[in-house]
Amino acid sequence: MDAILTMLSYPFMQRAFLAGILLGLLLASLGVLATLRKMAFFGEGVAHASLAGISLAILAGVAPIPVAIAWAVLIAIAIFWLERSTKLSSDTLIGILFTASMALGVVIMSQTAGFQPELISFLFGSILSINPGDLVIIAAFTAIILAWFGTSLKQLTYIAFNEDAASIAGMKTKTQTLVLYIALAIATVLGVKILGIILVSALLVLPPATGRLLAKSFKSYLWMSLLVSEIVIICGLTLSYFYDLPSGATIVLTGTGLFFLTTLSRQVMKR
Amino acid sequence: MSNQLPTTNNVSERGTAVSVKDLRVSYDDHVILENISFEIPENSITAIIGPNGSGKSTLIKAVLGLTRTEKGDVKLFGQPLSHVRRTIGYVPQRFEFDRQFPMTVLEFMELARHEHTDKKGISRAIKNVGIKSGVLREQLGSLSGGQLQRVLIAQAILNQPKLLVLDEPAAGIDVVGEAAFFQMIDQLRKVHGTTIVIVSHDISFVANAVDHVVCVNKNLMCSGPPKLALTEKNLERLFGASNIYHHHSHD
């Protein structure tokens, strides 16, 4: 108990937990819609694509997160526009934009001399990397996106099930879809600080996947996903602190462990 | 529910539910529909018929504002679509979803409920399509094809639309279910005054049960009450053969 209180007395851990709890809510909420729309690859693509924005910011000597957010939003808008103008699947377009943007990131990085510890922390995530400014950005975007999510959830779900009927009913299906893409892009980039570019999309997928195994209705699915997300983040960050492990990898492994544990429990209960 | 087929009212006594004038739709320089003009009377059961690939679904999507039109004028109940959007119910040709997705029928119905429709309206809509309200507690993915189609129709009529559009409903109905299906939509028309439009490639599915037809194969081939519009000559122009129309009763 003393060890936990000591951990929570460190300002960097307080910021990591606060940021983690907020990101857990944000990514799991959007993840429910992403999995419903079969967009699990979207988070993966946007996270990797954000490397270009982060590299650009490091090269220019400015704060990486705002630049990465702006870049990710551009990528999200490009995916939305290309989906409609080329009729290619979003997976194909994400594959193109994600690799092109990563390639751009690598080219920009090659212009930055010496070892870049900040870049490494973005790749793998670090609980030490959340500064007060980041926390404010994460809290502000989480509040805005969750407020929109709360008021638009019914519409977003209807659009995911039956876009034509939703459009006929007068819902702004294109606008809502575009805002969802942008919200997913922003949430993914915010999660990069703790989870890293390589692993952040796991938090969009793992909690909804585990929540789905436990839920019998949409309402319980949403709540279960949020609960699982928070358990995974809190346990993952705690393990990361005590065993001096990379935060992103520890959170993802905790989530994966919980997913398999839930799957096994369900199988045992069925017998 | 009545076992009788819908009665043919005098079209001229009724108002116009759908009015299409000189419609043209094309994709990438490929013309899908052109010179399409017709009217659908209010409180009718109308079938839009034509062979596969004739542009029926494109026509209904153009009427409902789901696809861009190159030219033409569409009015619903004398008004532009944007004024009457919330008075339309639509059941799409294909409804594909992940059957493992956790959602109850009640939650699915709630997605379409307008603020002016009370919650009891969900039970009423479910009852109107001939299924027991117990289905509301079931998982959407656990329903059979026929039950799912009825739930989709219940969702489309939930807000008591003035116009109900069913795109290829025959796909989810077996021969035994046809009579019950037409009784159900006839009841909707009689009780709620709903104008019903059915898009179908299967003329024998609709011809005996509707009181108005619109025949499409890139151009408008015929339009009017079935007895007047579905002549041998028109059917030959529409399908390339006149003997595909088998009279049978849905009773």
Task: Evaluate if residue B89 carries a pLDDT over 70.
Answer: yes
Confidence band of B186 (pLDDT split at 50, 70, 90)? confident
pLDDT tens track for A130-163: 889 989 999 999 999 999 999 999 999 999 999 9
Q: Is A148 on the interface with B (CB under 8 A)?
A: no
- Could A168 and B90 be called an inter-chain contact, meaning their C-beta atoms sit closer than 8 Å? yes
Question: So what CATH class is B16-95+159-239?
Answer: alpha beta
Mean local confidence (pLDDT), B132-146: 91
Whole-model pTM? 0.86
Chain A residues in contact with B88 by the CB 8 A cut-off are 168-169
Would an 8 Å CB–CB cutoff place B138 in contact with chain A?
Answer: no
Model pLDDT, residue B10: 42
What pLDDT, on the 0 to 100 scale, is given for residue B242?
53
- Please list every residue in chain A whose beta carbon sits closer than 8 Å to the beta carbon of residue B101: 36, 212
Q: Do B90 and A220 touch (CB under 8 A)?
A: no
Cα distance from B102 to chain A (closest Cα, Å)?
5
Closest Cβ–Cβ partner in A38, A165, A170 for B92: A165
Q: A172 CB near a chain B CB, below 8 Å?
A: no
Q: Which residue has the tokens 């939305």?
A: A80
Q: Which of the four pLDDT bands, split at 50, 70 and 90, describes residue B247? A: very low
Tell me what percent of the residues of chain B surpass a pLDDT of 70: 87
CB atoms A164 and B92 under 8 Å: yes
Q: What is the pLDDT of residue B133?
A: 87
Identify the pLDDT of residue B241.
60
Predicted ipTM of the assembly = 0.85
Task: Indicate the average pLDDT of chain A.
Answer: 91
Question: Using a CB-CB distance cutoff of 8 angstroms, which residues of chain A are in contact with residue B108?
Answer: 161
Domains and their CATH numbers in chain A: 2-270 (1.10.3470.10)
Nearest CA-CA distance, residue B242 and chain A, Å: 34
DSSP-assigned states of every residue in B190-231: HHH--EEEEEES-HHHHTTT-SEEEEEESEEEEEE-HHHH--
pLDDT of residue B12: 46
Question: Taking a C-beta distance cutoff of 8 angstroms, is the pair B15, B163 a contact?
Answer: no
Contact B90 A158 (CB under 8 A): no
Residue window 16-55, chain B: list those with CB within 8 Å of chain A: none
Mean pLDDT computed over every residue of chain B: 84
Would you tell me which residues 225-244 of chain A have a C-beta closer than 8 angstroms to some C-beta of chain B? Answer: none
What pLDDT digit, counting tens, does each position of B29-48 carry? 899 999 999 999 999 999 99
Rounded Cα distance between A74 and A155, Å, is 24
- The whole-number average pLDDT for the span B47-70 is 91
How do residues A199-224 score in pLDDT, each as one tens digit?
888 999 999 999 999 999 999 999 99
Q: Residue B87 CB: number of other CB atoms within 10 A?
A: 15
Say which of B85, B88, B102 has its CB closest to residue A221: B102
- The residue with greater pLDDT, B204 or A64, is A64
pLDDT score recorded for residue A34 = 92
Record: contact A212-B100, CB cut-off 8 A: yes
Tell me the mean pLDDT in the region B77-84: 91
Taking an 8 Å cut-off on Cβ atoms, the answer to whether A154 and B156 are in contact is no
pLDDT band at A90 (very low <50, low <70, confident <90, very high): confident
| B66/A154 CB distance under 8 A | no
The pLDDT confidence band at residue B5, using thresholds 50, 70 and 90, is very low
Of residues A87 and B223, more confidently modeled: B223
pLDDT value for B175: 60
User: Residue B245: pLDDT band by 50, 70, 90 thresholds?
Assistant: low
Cβ separation of B90 and A215 shorter than 8 Å? no
Hey, which residues does B217 pair with through a beta bridge? B219
* Number of other CB atoms surrounding residue A122 within 10 Å: 28
Q: Give the CA count within 13 Å in the CB-facing half-sphere of A132.
A: 1
Q: Taking residues B4-23, what's their average pLDDT?
A: 66
Is it the case that residue A76 has pLDDT exceeding 80? Answer: yes
Instruction: Note the pLDDT of residue B34.
Output: 93
Neighbours of A54 (CB within 10 A): 26
For the segment A169-198, the average pLDDT, to the nearest whole number, is 92
- Nearby residues of B171 by Cβ (< 8 Å), 6 or more positions away: B93
Instruction: Report d(CA A224, CA B126) in Å as an integer.
Output: 29
Q: Say whether A170 and B64 touch across the interface (CB within 8 A).
A: no
Of the candidates B65, B102, B111, the beta carbon closest to that of A216 is on B102
B chain contacts of residue A159, beta-carbon cutoff 8 Å: none
User: Do the bridges between strand B219-224 and strand B71-76 make them parallel or antiparallel, or are there none, so unpaired?
Assistant: unpaired
**Interface with B, mutate which of A159, A163, A218 (most B CBs under 10 A):** A218
- Is residue B194 very low, low, confident or very high in pLDDT (cuts 50, 70, 90)? very high
Q: Which amino acid is at B250?
A: H
Q: How far is B215 from chain A (nearest CA, A)?
A: 23
Report which DSSP code applies to B132: -
Q: Which residue of A has its CA nearest to B142?
A: A216
> Which pairing describes strands B45-49 and B195-200: parallel, antiparallel, or unpaired?
parallel
- Whole-angstrom Cα distance, residue A225 to residue B25? 44
The predicted model gives A17-42 an average pLDDT of 93
Q: What's the pLDDT score for residue B208?
A: 78
- Among the residue ranges A8-22, A100-114, B3-17, the one predicted with the least confidence is B3-17
pLDDT in tens, A228-244: 999 999 999 999 999 99
Q: Is the pLDDT score of A258 beyond 60?
A: yes
For range B63-76, the mean pLDDT: 93
Average pLDDT (A27-55) is 91
